[in-house]
Chain A
């Protein structure tokens, strides 16, 4: 079974029920993707699958044939990723940080679909990414800031 991970082709022949989050964190050492709950409720393990946000704790490896997976490690190397990360830092959106890489992924999924979102759209896009620290306002600001600064990137 083959799929693409951060622009590289990966061949996988292990247990098809192994969770994508475990494969990423433990087999590939891509620890930017976090596990917060293991049941798709907190969003900390979010990655992009074919450009859409998904929680990697619910995806068995056997479901990935032909898919394109992007994690924070892939995104941070791109202009879009750099723009998002610096906007998060500048807007004061990061506190404990555990939810933030996935929050960046959620922002990326949003901006891929809508490069000029309003606040309501941003709140909706991150509504599955739980943050216990920030109260979200500054995260919303960060994403709006990235959209503004990154005009043309998405």
Chain B
């Protein structure tokens, strides 16, 4: 069952191949080459045609638009994302802790999104930031919220003729921001749990609050209902509302394994972030 393999030199060529053959895109290889490996001395065998797009240089730029929207090309690797000052902090932090150095030179943001693993590192902060994914086909482009694009564990809304070409992060500002990944070890680790959160104060009230939990369910979890509970509150009101908020966030989680650890730790981290932010410390990054 050796399926066909194509190598595309341009996005256009890749789109044609994808439309004609339904080939799956192979970019960095850090997921697919593992999943379909056959062992030493045996070439990987894929149950579908693949198109290798590593050489499509047009897809790896990181740029900022006039309105502050940051566009990250689908082939941008975590090593570059981690270093780019254009990229918001939680995404840079997640990119910096993704796998090990060699992986960070190979894996791509498009692949990390397309793979849609609940333990994937980049979708979690991106979803908190309301990032949108750009899907390109021969018919043109469409954009959708990343949170809508990822349907569940390993499931996306990608059409058979589309390729993920970029990720767009809308302008964002915060007074305080938080990112944590708890890995299987301190480096070169898969995520056991992760959390991003941000809070923006305006005129003494919480104008924006968002959070996203990784590795806590079949996909990245955001509860906008829970987030809304804190918006518009002043410090005292927020403190009073905190237990109810934490309960609501906990309700939204659906961890498959280690439920006690994942729920308790998420709760402690959120509580820590919010109570720290309500103290209005100097540093905008809460650790």
CB <8 Å contact, A60 and B52: yes
Q: Is the CB of A17 within 8 A of B50?
A: yes
Say yes or no for B258: interface residue by CB 8 A criterion.
no
- Bits for B120-151, please: 1 = Cβ < 8 Å to A, else 0: 00000000000000000000000000000000
Interchain CB contact under 8 A, B188 and A127: yes
Who on chain B is nearest to A46 by CB? B102
Render B159-201 as a binary contact track against A, CB cut-off 8 A, 1 for contact: 0000000000000000000000000000110000000000000
When distances are taken between beta carbons in the complex, the residues of chain B under 8 Å from A53 are 101-102, 105
The number of chain A residues with a CB under 8 A from chain B is 37
Interface residues of B, CB < 8 Å — how many?
33
Known: A16-B7, A63-B54, A65-B55. A57 touches B100 (CB 8 A): no
Picked from B41, B50, B101, B188, the residue with its CB within 8 Å of the CB of A22 is B41
Q: Which one of A33-41, A91-99, A145-153 contacts B?
A: A33-41
**Are B43 and A128 interface neighbours, CB within 8 A?**
no
Task: Tell me, rounded to whole Å, the shortest Cβ–Cβ distance linking A112 to chain B.
Answer: 12
Residues of B within 8 A of A46 (CB): 102
- Measured CB to CB, the closest approach of chain A to B52, in angstroms, equals 4
Supply 28 A–B pairs (Cβ within 8 Å), ascending by A: A15-B5, A16-B7, A16-B52, A19-B43, A22-B43, A26-B41, A38-B34, A38-B40, A39-B34, A40-B34, A43-B100, A57-B33, A58-B30, A58-B33, A58-B106, A59-B29, A59-B33, A60-B44, A60-B52, A63-B7, A63-B54, A64-B54, A109-B101, A127-B101, A127-B187, A127-B188, A128-B99, A130-B188
- Give Cα A92 to B266, complex, Å: 43
